Amino acid sequence: MPSYTPPARDMDFILHDLLQVGAQDIPGYADLDRSFTAAILDEAGKLASEVLAPLNPVGDREGCRLENGVVYTPTGFKAAFEAMKQGGWNGLDLPEEYGGQGLPYIMGTAVGEMFVSANMAFNMYQGLTHGAINAILTAGSDEQKATYLPKMVSLDWTGTMNLTEPHCGTDLGLMRTRAEPQADGSYAITGQKIFISAGDHDLAENIIHLVLAKAPGGGPGTKGISLFIVPKFLVNPDGSLGARNAVSVGKIEEKMGIHGNATCVLNYDGARGFLIGELHKGLSAMFVMMNEARLGVGLQGYAQAEAAYQNALAYARDRLQGRDVTGAKNPNGPADPLIVHPDIRRNLMDQKSFVEGARAFTFWGAHLLDRGHRLGDKDAEGLISLMTPVLKGFQTDKGFEMAVQAQQVYGGHGYIEEWGMSQFARDARIAMIYEGANGIQALDLVGRKLAQDGGKHVMAFFEMVKAEVKAHEGDERMKGFVEPLKTASKQMQAAGMFFMQNGMKNPNAALSGSYDFMHLMGHVCLGLMWTRMAKAAYAALDAGAADRDFYEAKIATGRYYMARQLPACAMHLARIESGAEPVMTLAADRF
């Protein structure tokens, strides 16, 4: 059975050596000193490794079941959910006013990574609730906040998001679910939603569904869409639970992974719903939830890769096959461990350098969100908005790829369910699809985000990279970081230039290269993170840090990423510059 060890040391490095959270001017950050964050990570790590991780294969094997309209989660999920509730983990970064602890989002991110690595399917019950809370915080009335938030923050009630319908996934303008106004000011919601994560279960006494539906008078397409709160059980004025609402589970989807999470078809048959936010402006309220959700899904990508990597590493140290070509490393044994072989090391280094780079990128993203929310820093908001499709799309593609590579280290045993490696790959796969499939993330990046606010944010990003490069010019130790970063950043600029020169007259010229651009930019972002991490590691070594092994490993891992991954940018640029012609020439009927 796979095991999980919380990467608290690496998180400490990112929080303190890299981002220096305690020295930031963001409200709440001054409290984040090393011992405080270590105490939180330690507690979260115990829950993750001792309670959630052992349940991961159980959830995978058992899945959820629907009996007489009631959804049951796998054995042990209820007790684990109770432990998560008692620990107050959902409220860690939520407002104290509603029962949370008010810590910065970056701490929720660190803790969230541990929970997701340990048991992604389980953590989605809490993760979806967290997103729903944010939507209510942003768009809800004071009364709605008072009614729903305390119970949701405590996890007595959970939340869901309901966008998808059978004929309407990416294209929300095709939505058919209707909201009819009622005399008492509520709405009657009728329609079918599919693929709803955590759609029903036995973990909480109520479920607060956030549902997108079309109310009369909104116009065609996405314009008429509004957002509604539709509780599973209606809530009485005194806060107690009232009648069962007219929402029922049609079925639980059979799926490739995340079996422990109930992905439901939900049928709304005139269910009572309450408008949240402005009428016909439902999408913007939902997008608040989706931006955080996209960051959370990007985190799922590398968090699954982390768990898979840990196990692949242990296996590579343990499994004896073949001899080191430069001389036996285990001469008294029948063979050497797998880790001596260059190709296994290449595989492990790919995983390690991606996971650590992605962790830094995600924590940096969370820090930008904190700057936006807590300081009102508009530049940080613009930057994180630009980065969101990259965090989601690049990291989930790579996360899946790395989970598959981890499986490869096990050879045939990786394909056998008993070892648990296939679950990481199967669970990681969904992150490439939901919250906007990765092709749509690329479209958002190239079609919208690059030009947002007149291209101000992407220009700021280029300036940031340039400043980083300049800061280390002439520093021999940093050469292996700065030069690849400089080259990759120029390639990213050349790609942007190609889009500007060709995209207006032929949008297909830009969109044919959008996926490559998302990956090119992902590598530049991780290259920037690795350059900064190398700088921080050298600084710690120069200051006489005790655990030299950690910092030296950090630098070696970064060098690997820069030398072995950044060259992919040249390939992505070449594909982008080939334009629409190779992609669009073949007529649809000639495929």
Ligand X SMILES: Cc1cc2nc3c(=O)[nH]c(=O)nc-3n(C[C@H](O)[C@H](O)[C@H](O)COP(=O)(O)OP(=O)(O)OC[C@H]3O[C@@H](n4cnc5c(N)ncnc54)[C@H](O)[C@@H]3O)c2cc1C
List contacts with ligand X (CB under 6 A). 161-164, 169-170, 195-197, 255, 263, 430, 433-434, 436-437, 439-440, 443
Q: Which two tokens stand for residue 434?
A: 């939901």
Strands (E), 225-374: 225-231, 233-235, 241-244, 247-252, 263-276
Q: How far apart are CA 439 and CA 281, in angstroms?
A: 25
Q: How far is the CB of 448 from ligand X (least distance, A)?
A: 12
CB of 449 to ligand X, least distance (A): 15
> Residue 322: CB partners within 8 Å, gap ≥ 6?
335, 336, 338, 341
Least Cβ distance, residue 255 to ligand X (angstroms): 5
Tokens of 241: 């639970």
- Which of the following is catalytic: 113, 165, 435, 468? 435
Determine the 3-state secondary structure of 566 from DSSP: coil
Nearer to ligand X, 162 or 385 (CB): 162
Q: Are 237 and 411 in contact (CB under 8 A)?
A: no
Q: Residue 51 or residue 196: which is nearer to ligand X going by CB? A: 196
Residue with Cβ nearer ligand X (372 or 503): 503
Residue ranges of alpha helices (H) inside 319-377 are 342-375
Phi, psi of 345 (to 5 degrees): -65, -40
CA dist 538 → 435, 521, 554 (Å):
38, 26, 9
Residues whose CB falls within 8 Å of the CB of residue 568, separated by 6 or more in sequence, listed in order: 519, 520, 523
Whether 435 is catalytic is yes
Q: How far apart are CA 210 and CA 207, in angstroms?
A: 10
Q: How far is the CB of 53 from ligand X (least distance, A)?
A: 21
Q: Which residue has the tokens 């350059």?
A: 531
And the tokens for 203? 């973990």
Query: What would the two tokens of residue 119 be?
Result: 């048991």
Q: What b/e string do you get for 299-314 counting C-beta neighbours within 10 Å, with b at 16 or more?
A: bbbbbbbbbbbbbbbe
Query: Nearest to residue 86, comparing CAs of 113, 116, 145, 126?
Result: 126
| C-alpha dihedral sign at 500, 506, 507, 510 | negative
Smallest distance from ligand X to CB 425, Å: 15
Residue with Cβ nearer ligand X (336 or 427): 427
Residue 204 beta carbon to ligand X: minimum distance, rounded to whole angstroms:
16
Q: Given the complex with ligand X, which of 95 and 250 has the nearer CB atom? A: 250
Q: Kindly state the smallest distance separating residue 166's Cβ from ligand X, in Å.
A: 8
| Count of helices and strands (H, E) across the chain | 19, 11
Cross-strand bridge partners of residue 189: 179, 271
Q: Is 225 exposed, middle or buried (0-12, 13-18, 19+ CB in 10 A)?
A: buried
26/510 with CB nearer ligand X: 510
**CB distance 510 to 503 below 8 Å:** yes
| Nearest residue to ligand X, scored by beta-carbon proximity | 169
Nearest CA to 517 among 459, 579, 562, 564? 579
Can you give the C-alpha Rg of the chain in angstroms?
Answer: 24
Q: Which CB, 282 or 480, lies closer to ligand X?
A: 282
Element (H, E) at 79: helix 77-86
Q: State the nearest-atom distance from the C-beta of 169 to ligand X, in Å.
A: 2
β-pair type (206-214, 225-231) = antiparallel
Task: State the nearest-atom distance from the C-beta of 284 to ligand X, in Å.
Answer: 16
Give yes or no for a contact between 180 and 162, defined as CB atoms under 8 angstroms apart.
no
Nearest distance from C-beta of residue 442 to ligand X, angstroms: 9
Considering beta carbons, is residue 134 or 164 the nearer one to ligand X?
Answer: 164
Closest C-alpha to 200, from 348, 337, 65, 352:
65
Closest CA to 122 of 150, 85, 151, 167: 85
Complex with ligand X: residue 232 or 367, whichever CB lies closer: 232
Interior angle at CA 66, CA 64 and CA 72, nearest 5: 50
Catalytic positions, written as ranges: 435
